[in-house]
Structure 1
């Protein structure tokens, strides 16, 4: 059974990876929606979009909870893979709560554009997730999230604990192998004594 401290370290590492990994960007206020459409399988150039959805989109959503981020994974392998960024100029009377929407909406189609809205698209097919992110950052002028001193210290501490844990694990394996070898030699000696007694 995995120890509680080991599980806590793993959880802390995952949480830090969401806050600080690739895709940790703050989007400008004039973006109200991001929509992705790609095939459910990676054939036909859909691997990059799938990786972007799985890794970078999670961090974008974490840092931009008010931006609706939807996906449509019903495209065929030969269809284009498209990321649509919806820009809008919110009216002065519109509150941020009015513009926020859920990313788990059942409607997977692109919403009807408001009169002040424009939509820019990125062709994701045959592109890596890093290239898609780079294009999105260039298009939206998103700001990267920098790690705080406390987060950097936590990363250092977790790395030290990981290295120490790896060393301890290697030592434990050595001890277990030695004990197993000694047990095997003891059994072999007992077998030889029993054979000599007969």
Structure 2
């Protein structure tokens, strides 16, 4: 019998393909393409959406809206008892606010106290805005850091509010200016929505295929059972 390994060792020449003729590892590239797309979607989700806004700073503050120095959010770990909106505000809005206000300190306290406050403490430079003075809730948040001597605070009661309602309240009190999405970002959002819709269609289609396969297997099993019964007659 010919020893294949010996024959291979005796080969003096090696066949080389030009660089442009090597096969492309499509699955590998597609895998990393999906990772890149997911990463871009995450970044885009932080840049635009509810909470993508800029707070008044020392250079942009007005008589009506003083500069915002920091934020503190307190809410309970579980969503019942009116804490769902505060939790969603933390998940959806705070990352966007931090992205557009990178120098602003934001602290969060998640408690086990379902009967405790769901509150957002807003720290103003020197004085609170008129809107904050009028709408601030009579809620105490023992977890919020004490203000500095140059700060004034206003506490917003977030219980039983949707996160979008919370954001509207924050905008009214602080004078935050929304950062609109660019034309490129709008196009990317539309593309992502189309991908999401296609993914949902694919999910439904695959679920139908799996169900049809299960139904077919069940029918075959039932048919085999009937055949076995006939054999025993």
Regarding TM over 0.5, the answer is yes
After superposition, residues 1-198 of structure 1 pair within 5 angstroms as: 4=31, 11-30=39-58, 31=67, 33-36=69-72, 38-40=74-76, 47-73=84-110, 77=115, 81-87=119-125, 109-113=145-149, 117-126=150-159, 128=161, 129-198=163-232
Distance 1:72 1:181, change over 3 A: closer
C-alpha contact (below 8 Å) 2:68/2:174 kept by paired residues: no
Count of aligned positions: 175
- Taking the aligned partners of 2:168 and 2:95, their CA distance within structure 1 comes to 16
Structure showing greater Rg: 2
Q: CA deviation at 1:65?
A: 0.6
Structure-2 change in CA distance of 1:52 and 1:174 (3 Å)? closer
Query: Which structure is richer in relative contact order (CA contacts within 8 A, separation 6 or more)?
Result: 1
Unaligned runs of 5+ in 1: 89-106
SS in 2 for 1:110: coil
How far 1:47 sits from its partner (Å)?
A: 4.8
Q: Secondary structure at the match of 1:159?
A: helix
Task: With the length of structure 1 as denominator, give the TM-score of the two structures.
Answer: 0.68
Kept in 2, the 8 Å contact 1:83–1:124? The answer is: no
Q: In structure 2, do the counterparts of structure 1 residues 8 and 192 end up closer, same or farther at CA, with 3 Å as the change threshold?
A: farther
1:86 is paired with a residue whose SS is strand
CA RMSD of aligned residues (A): 3.4
Deviations 1:111-131 (A, max 9, x none): 523xxx342413325462334
Per-residue CA deviations over 1:87-139 (Å, capped at 9, x if unaligned) read: 26xxxxxxxxxxxxxxxxxx9623523xxx34241332546233432232223
Contact map agreement 1:19 1:62 (CA 8 A) in 2: yes
Cα gap change, 1:186/1:65 in structure 2, threshold over 3 Å: closer, same or farther? same
C-alpha distance in structure 1 between counterparts of 2:85 and 2:206, whole Å: 40
| TM-score, normalised by the number of residues in structure 2 | 0.59
In structure 2, the gaps of 5 or more residues are 1-29, 59-66, 127-142
